[in-house]
């Protein structure tokens, strides 16, 4: 069964995608502006970009230095 | 009082600066929204990815709106609590380590103002997060599945918020008495999930337990009335919150600020 693009109810799905994007972009901005992160910065950027939803959360919890 | 306001404002600016005010609510909204969406599309998802043989007829009972929202709350009870605790674990301990707490306490600031401003900051973000996330979830549920009575939603979220306030108060307490951030999160989560487990196993004997609040939330959603023993649980929970707060302030007074 192939779901064509028109059948996907964008009204319900679009807000979810937008929120995930906002989360990802916030994490990226925070990561890039941070002077030093816990662990290499390029690794965090990859984590944020490629693990959806969980990546940014892990970055915010573990990656930032609290000072 | 004015000192307290200044400290509280510092808390809030800090939450804006480390994006906490943005990412915690977004995660709660996503958690809350995905449940109705996935239960609505479950038949299609099974159809496409389930690998069921051709012609299988699945009788999937469509969940009621109340069921979906109960699911959402149980997700909040696991992942939501985890995220809240992890985001709040450093609230005092990290400031003590970095010396900020010492810098604040050199000025004639009452210890109680410091702890209470922290607590108020945590309360603010927790309640905002819960209300926004739950409202989004309610909106999606009524859009995709069925409308749930607003009154039930409102009552259930109020009862649930008591439980979350208990959880963050506990986080604040452990953050005051312990040093490492990870340890704080671990102990808090251990206590919270342990309490939930014991409460659900012993049931009748644990009506006073704060974790019973989560069960009353479900009751309110399903029947519109909290279960028996709600008042007892409510009173002990508030009492525990107050005692834990006072204990945090007292212990904070005894602690060395600069380590």
* pLDDT given for residue A1 in this prediction: 47
CB contacts, 8 Å: B56 with chain A: none
Structure tokens at A51: 């693990």
| Distance (Å) from the alpha carbon of A67 to chain B's nearest alpha carbon | 6
Query: Domain limits at B108?
Result: 2-254
Number of domains in chain A: 1
* pLDDT given for residue B179 in this prediction: 85
Is pLDDT at B102 greater than 90 in this prediction?
no
Q: Which of A3, A19, A30 sits opposite B29 (nearest CB)?
A: A19
Structure tokens at A41: 């910065």
**DSSP SS3 for B37:** helix
Query: Is A8 inside any structural domain?
Result: no
Query: Is B98 inside any structural domain?
Result: yes
* pLDDT given for residue B96 in this prediction: 86
Structure tokens at B66: 């109340």
| pLDDT level of residue B58 (50, 70, 90 thresholds) | low
Q: Which of A19, A30, A64 sits opposite B26 (nearest CB)?
A: A19
Query: Domain limits at A48?
Result: 35-67
Is pLDDT at B66 greater than 80 in this prediction?
yes
Per-residue model confidence as pLDDT tens digits over A23-61: 999 999 999 998 888 889 999 999 999 998 899 999 999
Structure tokens at B211: 């974790």
Residue of B nearest to A25 (CA): B23
Mean pLDDT of B74-91: 94
Is pLDDT at B189 greater than 70 in this prediction?
yes
Per-residue model confidence as pLDDT tens digits over B162-188: 999 999 999 999 999 998 888 999 999
Q: Which of B30, B44, B98 sits opposite A19 (nearest CB)?
A: B30
Mean pLDDT of B87-115: 88
Mean pLDDT of B93-111: 86
CB contacts, 8 Å: B137 with chain A: none
Query: Is B135 inside any structural domain?
Result: yes
Optimal mutation site among A57, A63, A64, A65, interface B, most CBs of chain B within 10 A = A57
| A38 in B contact zone (CB under 8 Å) | no
What predicted TM-score, i.e. pTM, was given to this entire model? Answer: 0.91
For B180-217, letters b (16+ CB in 10 Å) and e give ebeebbebbbeebeebbeebeeeeeebbbbbbbbbbbb
The lowest-confidence range among B49-63, B96-110, B179-193 is B49-63
| B198 in A contact zone (CB under 8 Å) | no
Contact B140 A12 (CB under 8 A): yes
Q: What is the mean pLDDT of chain B?
A: 90
Query: Is B259 inside any structural domain?
Result: no
Mean pLDDT of B205-222: 91
Phi and psi torsions of B108, nearest 5°: -75, 70
* pLDDT given for residue A10 in this prediction: 76
| pLDDT level of residue B100 (50, 70, 90 thresholds) | confident
Number of domains in chain B: 1
**DSSP SS3 for A38:** coil
Query: Is B74 inside any structural domain?
Result: yes
Q: How far apart are CA B235 and CA B229, in angstroms?
A: 10
């Amino acid at each position: 069964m192939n779901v064509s693009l028109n059948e996907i109810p964008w009204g319900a799905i679009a807000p979810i995608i937008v929120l995930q994007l906002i989360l990802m972009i916030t994490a990226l901005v925070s990561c890039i502006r941070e002077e030093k992160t816990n662990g290499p910065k390029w690794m965090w950027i990859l984590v944020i970009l490629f693990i959806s939803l969980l990546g940014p959360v892990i970055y915010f919890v573990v990656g930032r230095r609290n000072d | 009082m004015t000192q307290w306001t200044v400290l509280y404002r510092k808390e809030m600016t800090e939450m804006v600066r480390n994006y906490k005010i943005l990412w915690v609510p977004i995660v709660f909204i996503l958690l809350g929204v995905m449940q109705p969406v996935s239960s609505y599309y479950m038949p299609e998802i099974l159809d496409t990815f389930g690998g069921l043989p051709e012609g299988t007829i699945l009788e999937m009972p469509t969940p009621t709106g109340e069921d979906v929202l109960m699911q959402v709350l149980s997700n909040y009870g696991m992942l939501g609590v985890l995220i809240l605790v992890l985001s709040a674990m450093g609230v005092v301990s990290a400031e003590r380590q970095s010396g900020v707490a010492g810098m604040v306490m050199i000025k004639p600031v009452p210890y109680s103002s410091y702890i209470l401003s922290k607590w108020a900051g945590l309360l603010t973000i927790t309640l905002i997060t819960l209300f926004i996330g739950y409202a989004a979830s309610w909106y999606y549920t009524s859009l995709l599945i069925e409308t749930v009575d607003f009154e039930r939603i409102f009552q259930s979220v109020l009862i649930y918020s008591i439980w979350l306030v208990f959880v963050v108060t506990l986080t604040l307490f452990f953050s005051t008495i312990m040093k490492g951030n990870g340890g704080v999160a671990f102990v808090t989560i251990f206590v919270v999930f342990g309490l939930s487990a014991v409460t659900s196993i012993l049931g009748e004997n644990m009506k006073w337990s704060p974790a019973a609040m989560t069960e009353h939330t479900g009751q309110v959603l399903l029947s519109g009335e909290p279960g028996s023993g709600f008042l007892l649980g409510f009173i002990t929970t508030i009492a525990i919150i107050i005692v834990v707060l006072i204990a945090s302030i007292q212990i904070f007074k005894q602690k060395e600020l600069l380590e």
